[in-house]
């Protein structure tokens, strides 16, 4: 990909080496995603010109390592761009994450959060003083801070409040130079409940901010033609997008105002859809939205000195677009999650599971109805589906098979038993060999998530770091475990028919064997779990359909009810799907 702007003077050899390393890391991430996730879905297409400079803005940031690894290979394949990721200095200090960031040529940001020190005790913000007076409980303001230091706290695990210390009045009281303000509501703190402004953890901030790195960011954007960042500024496991930071808007407007010839800057929203991201072999989706062209009036305002106005307007524009693309919603009394749960229970057995594409259409259809206050059809359909599920539960059935006829059920049962007999031998060795690895990595990952939650102002249960921690711990422990198994195989067979090969050859053969067993066990394990779930439901249906006439009548009625409900759901969603159109709806894997 050639961007028609001047490079920063680095040699061609350096750029070729960086491209080689980037492609290698992207390929490795692609393979790991194929192993870690059961299904990956990619939507969207490249509507940009090769001369455009692109800023990929991704969210929600619900998995600290996987989100970056997801963007790398698919931005490369869809857009032909090797992006430069913007990462915090704290990330660079971590052994694995720092190694990966350096390997892909990430640009380091020395942000305020990266230089923050957790304060002692908790604080309370006084509304009577409009947020200027800060009172503490068990604090040591006189020992930990001095005038000019910056104080940061997070309210309701969402809003970041900042202030500069003007005067320290004792160990448990200080004054700020300016009242604290909400970034999205500059008026006053009365927008929040008073009980949310008490017992807050806080941090002292020193050191340089990311403003000192504008030159490096502009150079990365000119050199690579693309950068990528997470505008929320942190990783979290909340059911909604966090308020966006303004950094990406400043970068875009600065670059647009610089007026590089033959090049414009556009912002590409990237929605990351996790389904139970903390679990192994879950599902993940990535949707590329249409590139956003910066309105000319915002560029004009930025050049005219109205930077804050232009930056704020662009930030709100991009956040509104990305919010519409995500599958998160917390503003409708949990109605959308309830509807999704109801609709997806009508899916076929687990062997043909609902895709994220279907969930995506459900969410957007509901949001369209919410805007026009037309929810009667949806609520009525959801109520009937829930009643249907209650009847199924009374028979001990989770998912009703396609047909309730006894012959069809018996054939389905025989098919799954045959499938289990073929796949279980492939799963059993891998399960026995790697159960210690799974248990150990899960134990250490849970401890890591607990520590991360305790020290984070945004995490609820630490599920955003749980999956990555499991994978990283497993990667670190796997060589030791694999080596031990291979060495054990060499000891067992060194006195047998393999003695002529020599112990090193036996060790290599054992290492290959246990690796193959582990890889084969992953897809085979999914087949086994799906078959077991279907056998459970088929047996429950047979118990009712075979032993009594009343049971056969009930099963027939439930099957007809399911067919009718599925037809109504498809018709309900189809009205919106036809308007929206689909791009790349087929799962990638």
H-run or E-run covering 266: strand 265-275
Q: For the chain, what's the residue count?
A: 589
**DSSP letters spanning 118-180:** EPSSEEEE-GGGTT-EEEEES--HHHH--TT-EEEEEETTTEEEEEEEEEEEETTEEEESS--
Domains 12-111+211-325 and 114-205 share a fold: no
Q: Rounded distance, CA 461 to CA 464, Å?
A: 8
Q: Give the three-state DSSP class for 64.
A: coil
Q: Are 162 and 151 in contact (CB under 8 A)?
A: yes
CATH topology of domain 114-205: Elongation Factor Tu (Ef-tu); domain 3 (2.40.30)
Cα–chain center distance at 225: 25
Mean pLDDT in consecutive groups of 10 residues from the start of the chain, 589 residues: 38 62 85 80 78 89 83 88 84 78 80 76 76 86 87 75 86 86 56 66 69 74 86 82 88 84 83 79 86 91 91 92 74 60 60 59 71 69 84 78 71 88 85 81 87 75 80 80 73 59 67 78 83 85 74 80 82 58 38
Q: What phi, psi does 456 have (nearest 5°)? A: -110, 145
CB 477 within 8 A of CB 441: yes
Alpha-carbon distance of 122 to 129, in angstroms, equals: 18
CB-based contacts of 52: which residues, under 8 Å, 6+ apart? 225, 263, 264, 265, 266, 291
Return the pLDDT at 319: 92
Where is 40: in which H helix or E strand?
strand 39-43
Four-point Cα dihedral 236, 238, 244, 245, nearest 10:
-30
Domain boundaries, the chain: 12-111+211-325, 114-205, 406-547
Between strands 53-59 and 265-275, the pairing is parallel
CB 75 within 8 A of CB 319: no
Tell me how far CA of residue 548 lies from CA of 266, 391, 551, in angstroms: 66, 17, 5
Q: Which two tokens stand for residue 63?
A: 């998995």
pTM value? 0.78
The CB density around residue 93, as the number of other CB atoms within 10 Å, is 10
In sequence order, the β-bridge partners of residue 174 are 134, 168
Long-range contacts of 89-92 (CB under 8 A, 24+ apart): 89/114, 89/115, 90/114
Closest CA to 82 of 26, 42, 11, 43: 26
DSSP conformational letter for 194: G
Q: Are 58 and 272 in contact (CB under 8 A)?
A: yes
Q: Which residue has the tokens 């804050």?
A: 308
Q: Report which DSSP code applies to 351.
A: G
Architecture of the domain whose range is 12-111+211-325: 3-Layer(aba) Sandwich (3.40)
Q: Which residues contact 422 (CB under 8 A, 6 or more apart)?
A: none
- Looking only at the bridges linking them, the beta strands covering 107-109 and 84-88 are parallel
Q: What is the DSSP letter of 265?
A: E
Burial category of 435 from C-beta neighbours within 10 Å (exposed 0-12, middle 13-18, buried 19 and up):
exposed
Residue 321: Cβ-neighbour burial (10 angstroms; 0-12, 13-18, 19+): middle
Eight-class DSSP state of 501:
G
Report pLDDT for 561. Answer: 85
Number of H helices, E strands in the chain: 16, 15
Crossing angle between the packed helical segments 549-580 and 376-394, to the nearest 10 degrees: 150
Beta bridge partners of 228: 56, 85
Q: Which pLDDT value is given to residue 314?
A: 94
For 406, 411, 415, the CA distances from 418, given in Å and listed in that order, are 18, 11, 5
For residues 240 and 115, what is the distance between their CA atoms, to the nearest angstrom? 26
In contact, 468 and 64? CB cutoff 8 Å: yes
Residue 328: CB atoms within 10 A of its CB come to 19
Who contacts 293 (Cβ-Cβ below 8 Å, separation ≥6)?
264, 266
Do the beta carbons of residue 232 and residue 61 sit within 8 Å?
yes
């Amino acid at each position: 990909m050639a961007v028609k702007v001047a490079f920063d003077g680095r040699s061609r050899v350096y750029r070729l080496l960086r491209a080689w390393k980037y492609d290698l890391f992207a390929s490795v991430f692609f393979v790991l995603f194929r192993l870690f996730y059961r299904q990956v879905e990619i939507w969207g297409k490249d509507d940009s010109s090769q001369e455009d400079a692109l800023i990929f803005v991704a969210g929600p940031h619900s998995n600290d390592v996987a989100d970056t690894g997801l963007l790398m290979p698919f931005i490369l394949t869809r857009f032909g761009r090797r992006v430069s990721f913007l990462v915090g200095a704290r990330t660079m200090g971590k052994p694995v994450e720092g190694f990966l960031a350096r390997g892909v040529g990430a640009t380091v940001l020395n942000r305020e959060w990266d230089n923050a020190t957790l304060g002692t005790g908790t604080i309370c913000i006084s509304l009577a003083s409009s947020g200027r007076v800060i009172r503490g409980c068990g604090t040591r303001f006189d020992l930990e801070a001095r005038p000019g230091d910056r104080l940061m706290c997070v309210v309701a695990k969402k809003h970041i409040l900042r202030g500069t210390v003007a005067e320290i009045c004792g160990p448990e009281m200080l004054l700020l130079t300016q009242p604290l303000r909400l970034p999205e509501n500059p008026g006053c703190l009365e927008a929040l409940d008073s009980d949310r402004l008490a017992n807050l953890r806080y941090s002292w901030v020193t050191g340089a901010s990311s403003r000192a790195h504008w030159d490096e960011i502009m150079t990365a954007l000119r050199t690579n033609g693309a950068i990528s960042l997470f505008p929320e500024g942190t990783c979290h496991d909340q059911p909604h997008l966090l308020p966006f930071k303004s950094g990406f808007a400043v970068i875009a407007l600065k670059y647009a105002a610089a007026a590089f010839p033959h090049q414009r800057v556009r912002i590409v929203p990237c929605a990351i859809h996790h389904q139970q991201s903390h679990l192994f072999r879950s599902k993940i989706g990535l949707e590329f939205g249409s590139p956003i062209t910066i309105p000319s009036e915002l560029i004009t305002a930025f050049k005219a000195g109205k930077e804050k106005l232009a930056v704020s307007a662009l930030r709100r524009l991009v956040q509104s677009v990305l919010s519409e693309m995500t599958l998160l919603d917390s503003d409708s009394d949990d109605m959308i999650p309830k509807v999704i749960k109801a609709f997806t229970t009508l899916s076929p057995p687990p062997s043909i599971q609902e895709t994220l594409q279907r969930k995506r259409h459900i969410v957007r259809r509901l949001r369209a109805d919410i805007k026009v206050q037309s929810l009667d059809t949806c609520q009525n359909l959801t109520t009937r589906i829930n009643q249907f599920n209650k009847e199924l539960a009374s028979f001990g059935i989770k998912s009703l098979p396609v047909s309730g006829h006894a012959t069809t059920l018996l054939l389905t049962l025989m098919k799954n038993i045959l499938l289990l007999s073929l796949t279980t031998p492939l799963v059993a060795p891998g399960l026995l060999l790697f159960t210690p690895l799974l248990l150990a990595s899960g134990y250490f990952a849970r401890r890591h998530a607990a520590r991360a939650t305790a020290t984070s102002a945004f995490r609820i249960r630490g599920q955003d770091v749980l999956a990555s921690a499991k994978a990283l711990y497993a990667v670190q422990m796997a060589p030791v475990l694999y080596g031990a198994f291979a060495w054990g195989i060499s000891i067992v067979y060194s006195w047998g028919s393999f003695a002529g090969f020599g112990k090193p050859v036996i060790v290599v053969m054992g290492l290959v064997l246990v690796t193959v067993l582990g890889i084969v066990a992953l897809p085979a394990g999914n087949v086994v779990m799906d078959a077991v779930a279907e056998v459970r439901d088929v047996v429950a249906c047979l118990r009712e359909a075979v032993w009594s006439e009343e049971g056969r009548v009930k099963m027939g009625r439930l099957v007809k009810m399911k067919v009718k409900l599925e037809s109504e759901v498809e018709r309900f969603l189809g009205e919106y799907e036809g308007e929206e159109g689909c791009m790349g709806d087929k799962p990638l894997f």
